[in-house]
A and B are shown apart, each in its own frame.
Chain A
Amino acid sequence: MNRLWRMAVQALRSLWAERGYAALMMIGLVIGISSVTVIYEMGEGVRSQVVSMMSSMGFGADAFFVASGNRRAGFRRGGAARVLTDKDLSEISRLVNVDLVVPQLSISRDRVSAGARHTITGISGVDIHYAASRRWDIAQGRFLVEADNRDKRRVAVLGASTAQELFPEGSPLGRPIRIGTSPFLVVGVLAAKGFAPSGHDRDDRVLVPLSTAQRRLSKEDKFTAARVNLVDTGQVSETVEEVREILRANHRLGPEVPDDFTIVTPDSILQMVTRQSQAMVAMLTFIATVSLFVSGIVIMNIMLVAVSERAHEIGVRRAVGATRRDVMAQILMESLLVALLGGLCGLGLGMLLSRGIGAGLGLPVAFSLPGFGLSFLFSAGVGLIFGVFPARRAANLEPVECLR
């Protein structure tokens, strides 16, 4: 250990003595590693954004969604015919691993008016667990309660933006509104959440009791989607399969017929995001790999030059007792350290760059541990692999040749 440390110090000293060369050797790595860092940090940013978005939807690892329509093409808002029935949901809620099923009904965007003012917004029929499970706070009044649902009351809770739009002055509580043509009474206002990163205003919404929505708005006793809360999160895939079987049986889908519903697990969303960014990552990784390879070649050639320029030094070291292995280790140590230093600079530059780009484009950026690890491994690998040839060349020099 002591010896290794001494060698590292010596290597740093000779790198410092040849700092022009060292800088040249590091350039390629700085470029390569900084691009890897940018890739990973921006990828990680998108990923953590998706995760935080899902958790704001109350979509942790302990739940999955069942939605109407086959949405393999992606995430669509409304549109598909509603297929989930009371029977579906009660059978799902009887599964051993299912804790709670929270149904949800989305009505296509409709006109909501209050006196002379009106707005067009999305209306959802939700149950009483909705606010808690999706982390909505109540700013004014109350949220929907069991009695609202049981008695199919015509009450509504407004999002902050919708409330501001319809009632710019005074409290909306207890005031009448119309959804389409149906009259409702405002009982609460949600606390503002602001815009989603996608630019969508999360506070532009109207929530009404599920049963009321079925009776007055959708006029059918079906649901758009349901959140399925699990008991054991270790068995997500098993439960997903059971739910799929129930739904296919209830909907009488033959073996050749595709699902008329979509089950969305947190994993499947992450996979989707990952798939979409994979092509870009692959391309940038290719660029990074090429630049790392080029920098490896540069390191190798400069080290070869350095070895022949430092033949005297190598000769003296051999004369005073260095073995071939000592010489080899010294050169390897130097190329390893120069590569690691280059990698470190690249990491710093990459982190600056990705934060700059992120701020400029309004994209999220997050530190990526795998990106960091990969940068470290890549630089160490480049240093070691491309250092081997010069190191062997140095080790094979004969002391007398060096000292001539």
Chain B
Amino acid sequence: MIQLRGITKIYATGKVTTPALLGVDLDMARGDFAAIMGPSGSGKSTVMHIMGLLDRPTDGSYLLEGQEVTGLSDDGLAALRNQRMGFVFQSFHLLPTATALKNVLLPFVYSPRYPADAEERGRRALTAVGLEHRLHHRPGELSGGECQRVAVARALVTDPEVIFADEPTGNLDRRSTYEVMAILQRLNRDEGKTVVLVTHDNHVGEMCRRVVRLVYGRIESDTVAPQPLDAIALLAALPPREEDRR
């Protein structure tokens, strides 16, 4: 589905040039569940932004479903992001003044046509992340884990082929981490969605079928785990929450 060939990214700020990616060849197949890992500054976010069409490589080729996208216009990239990709960020990036449902509906605002059943689809997406009882809460009224699940709902509401998540569990506690990972695993397993996530957390890496390690802008290793950890099982093994015990 995604083919990166010889991707380089060099940041030039004034006289200093920072090479972030030094020739990355990377394929993502439909249905992959991949973690991109590596030390800080190794280029994980950069490569994810390039795959997510949020950034352009300095050089190299990017085939999306066999189509070269490096030459597309900004508007062309925006349309591809809108229709084929979903994004989850470490700090959620929800609109603070909008309700959970309105946040989830945001991608539809930029669709070629605002679907008639948008609201229904938004509810379904929030139900899929277990937040059907939080439709009209604003981000300030939700916990961090709930916010990130709203963000996941926003990423999947348009039914994209691939979900990119940059450190989606970076700000979450263990339980919320399992909850978010369980949702992503289910989307991957039951709906065949491709999931690419960046993480520092080895435990999160163990829940991914594939782990790509970056070091200094190069791919150091690309391994497949035959038996990734099941987030639902991990969640069930946690001691019950205070409020559940009562």
Task: Show the binding face of A for B, using Cβ within 8 Å.
Answer: 2-3, 6, 10, 13-14, 16-17, 312-313, 315-326, 398-400, 403
Could you tell me the distance between the alpha carbons of A320 and B54 in the complex, rounded to whole angstroms?
A: 10
Contact B154–A3 (Cβ < 8 Å): no
Contact A321–B95 (Cβ < 8 Å): no
A13, A322, A398: the one within 8 Å of B78 (CB): A322
A6, A17, A320, A326: the one within 8 Å of B107 (CB): A320
Residue of B nearest to A3 (CB): B114
Could you tell me the distance between the alpha carbons of A323 and B72 in the complex, rounded to whole angstroms?
A: 13
- Chain A residues with CB below 8 A from B83, complex form: 321
Q: Does B189 contact A (CB under 8 A)?
A: no
Contact (A13, B93) CB under 8 Å given A6-B109, A316-B106: no
Q: Does B62 contact A (CB under 8 A)?
A: no
Contact B95–A400 (Cβ < 8 Å): no
Contact B114–A400 (Cβ < 8 Å): no
Contact (A321, B81) CB under 8 Å given A398-B55, A400-B54, A403-B54: yes
With most chain A CB atoms within 10 A of its CB, the pick from B87, B94, B114 is B87
Contact A17–B87 (Cβ < 8 Å): no
With most chain B CB atoms within 10 A of its CB, the pick from A312, A313, A320 is A320
- Chain A residues with CB below 8 A from B78, complex form: 318, 321-323, 326
Residue of B nearest to A18 (CB): B97
List the 7 closest A-B pairs by CB distance, nearest first: A321-B82, A321-B110, A17-B97, A320-B107, A316-B93, A323-B78, A399-B54
Could you tell me the distance between the alpha carbons of A319 and B89 in the complex, rounded to whole angstroms?
A: 11
Could you list 5 examples of A-B contacts with CB < 8 Å?
A16-B97, A319-B81, A320-B81, A399-B55, A400-B55
- Chain B residues with CB below 8 A from A323, complex form: 74-75, 78, 110
Contact A6–B54 (Cβ < 8 Å): no
- Chain A residues with CB below 8 A from B107, complex form: 320-321
- Chain B residues with CB below 8 A from A316, complex form: 89, 93-95, 106
- Within the complex, the shortest CB–CB distance from A122 to chain B, in Å, comes to 71
- Chain A residues with CB below 8 A from B49, complex form: 400
Could you tell me the distance between the alpha carbons of A13 and B109 in the complex, rounded to whole angstroms?
A: 15
Contact B110–A322 (Cβ < 8 Å): yes
Contact A320–B110 (Cβ < 8 Å): yes
- Chain A residues with CB below 8 A from B93, complex form: 312-313, 315-316, 319, 403
Contact B82–A320 (Cβ < 8 Å): yes
Residue of B nearest to A330 (CB): B109
- Chain B residues with CB below 8 A from A403, complex form: 54, 89, 93
Could you tell me the distance between the alpha carbons of A254 and B128 in the complex, rounded to whole angstroms?
A: 100
Q: Does B224 contact A (CB under 8 A)?
A: no
Q: Does B202 contact A (CB under 8 A)?
A: no
Contact B114–A320 (Cβ < 8 Å): no
Q: Does B234 contact A (CB under 8 A)?
A: no
Q: Does B111 contact A (CB under 8 A)?
A: yes
- Chain A residues with CB below 8 A from B82, complex form: 320-321
B52, B79, B91, B114: the one within 8 Å of A6 (CB): B114
- Chain A residues with CB below 8 A from B114, complex form: 2-3, 6
Could you tell me the distance between the alpha carbons of A391 and B79 in the complex, rounded to whole angstroms?
A: 21
Interface residues as binary, B27-60 with A (CB distance below 8 Å gives 1, 0 otherwise): 0000000000000000000000100101100000
- Chain A residues with CB below 8 A from B109, complex form: 6, 10, 322
Could you tell me the distance between the alpha carbons of A124 and B52 in the complex, rounded to whole angstroms?
A: 93
Q: Does B98 contact A (CB under 8 A)?
A: yes
Interface residues as binary, B98-138 with A (CB distance below 8 Å gives 1, 0 otherwise): 10000000110111001000000000000000000000000
Residue of A nearest to B50 (CB): A400
- Chain B residues with CB below 8 A from A2, complex form: 114
- Chain B residues with CB below 8 A from A319, complex form: 52, 54, 81, 87, 93
A13, A16, A320, A325: the one within 8 Å of B154 (CB): A320
With most chain A CB atoms within 10 A of its CB, the pick from B82, B94, B96, B110 is B110
- Chain B residues with CB below 8 A from A321, complex form: 78-79, 81-83, 107, 110-111
- Chain A residues with CB below 8 A from B111, complex form: 321
- Within the complex, the shortest CB–CB distance from B14 to chain A, in Å, comes to 16
Contact B106–A317 (Cβ < 8 Å): yes
Could you tell me the distance between the alpha carbons of A403 and B98 in the complex, rounded to whole angstroms?
A: 19
- Within the complex, the shortest CB–CB distance from B78 to chain A, in Å, comes to 5
Could you tell me the distance between the alpha carbons of A322 and B74 in the complex, rounded to whole angstroms?
A: 10
Residue of A nearest to B102 (CB): A13
Could you tell me the distance between the alpha carbons of A212 and B114 in the complex, rounded to whole angstroms?
A: 86
- Within the complex, the shortest CB–CB distance from B234 to chain A, in Å, comes to 29
- Within the complex, the shortest CB–CB distance from A325 to chain B, in Å, comes to 8
Residue of A nearest to B91 (CB): A312
- Within the complex, the shortest CB–CB distance from B72 to chain A, in Å, comes to 12
Could you tell me the distance between the alpha carbons of A318 and B77 in the complex, rounded to whole angstroms?
A: 10
Could you tell me the distance between the alpha carbons of A194 and B165 in the complex, rounded to whole angstroms?
A: 83
A16, A313, A326, A398: the one within 8 Å of B110 (CB): A326
Contact A14–B54 (Cβ < 8 Å): no
- Within the complex, the shortest CB–CB distance from B88 to chain A, in Å, comes to 10
- Chain A residues with CB below 8 A from B89, complex form: 316, 403
Contact (A13, B106) CB under 8 Å given A321-B79, A321-B81, A403-B89: no
Contact B54–A313 (Cβ < 8 Å): no
- Chain A residues with CB below 8 A from B55, complex form: 398-400
- Chain B residues with CB below 8 A from A6, complex form: 109, 114
- Chain B residues with CB below 8 A from A3, complex form: 114
Could you tell me the distance between the alpha carbons of A96 and B81 in the complex, rounded to whole angstroms?
A: 79
Residue of B nearest to A324 (CB): B74
